Amino acid sequence: METLSLNYMLYIINGFPHIYYDVPKIDIEEVQKRTDDFYQMMNARRSVRTFSDKPVPKVIIEKLILTASTAPSGAHKQPWTFCAINDPTVKKAIRIAAEKEEYDSYNGRMTEQWLKDLAPLGTDWEKPFLEIAPWLIVVFAQSTGLNKEKHYYVQESIGIACGFLIAAIHEAGLVTLTHTPSPMNFMKTILNRPDNERPFLLLPVGYASEEAYVPDIHRKSLAEVAVFY
């Protein structure tokens, strides 16, 4: 152990440096309050499809992406790339390509049961939010590093990072929805991404429109989603 300063201590574990994690000491009442407050905030979250074109500063998008990138990942490889698009020309190209895939899905690829399950949400193949929302964030999963270094648990890692991103967007007072036109290979072409990346998720980000309506959905109860032993 080597003391570097009064407030910073460096430990060597298995030959690698570790720093002291100074976790704030919080009493149980504050833990309860924070838990309740965060649940109430996230339970109010909805996927929004009607966006305002009101600008969102780039610095906000940068901080949202940095927040997402704090997510844990296999061997801390952080196997993700967040492509943030504000350029109207690029957004239009993405909309055209996405709507082509969505049209084919809604008119032949999807099963009758799938279409029936989607009906209450009011979705269709047209996606105007891809041009209206001030930002699109396309998340790419890196199968390996650029120099072919191994990545681990890529699917799980990027899924967690996207969860962080969605929570951060909602906490900021903005809205989003998860959009996954399938197949999404056109994203690699439009955004000129390298061979080690594949598109994982598209998130439009911005303010909700003045008259935003969302489906009247109800989430499963605790008893339906959890088992305690």
From first to last of the 229 residues of the chain, give the pLDDT tens digit: 444 444 456 788 888 888 888 888 899 999 999 999 999 999 999 999 999 999 999 999 999 999 999 999 999 999 999 999 999 999 999 999 999 999 999 999 999 999 999 999 989 999 999 999 999 999 999 999 988 999 999 999 999 999 999 999 999 999 999 999 989 999 999 999 999 999 999 999 999 999 889 999 899 999 999 999 9
Say if CB 136 and CB 203 are below 8 A apart: yes
Residues in the chain: 229
**Considering only CA atoms, which of 160, 194, 177, 24 is closest in space to residue 98?**
177
Count other Cβ atoms within 10 Å, centred on residue 72: 12
CA distance 229 to 227: 7
In this prediction, residue 63 carries a pLDDT of: 98
CA–CA gap between residue 195 and residue 189 (Å, rounded): 10
Supply the pLDDT for residue 12: 86
pLDDT at 147: 87
Please tell me the predicted confidence (pLDDT) of residue 197. 96
The owner of tokens 């809604």 is: 106
Closest CA to 176 of 65, 89, 74, 99: 65
pLDDT for the residue numbered 9: 66
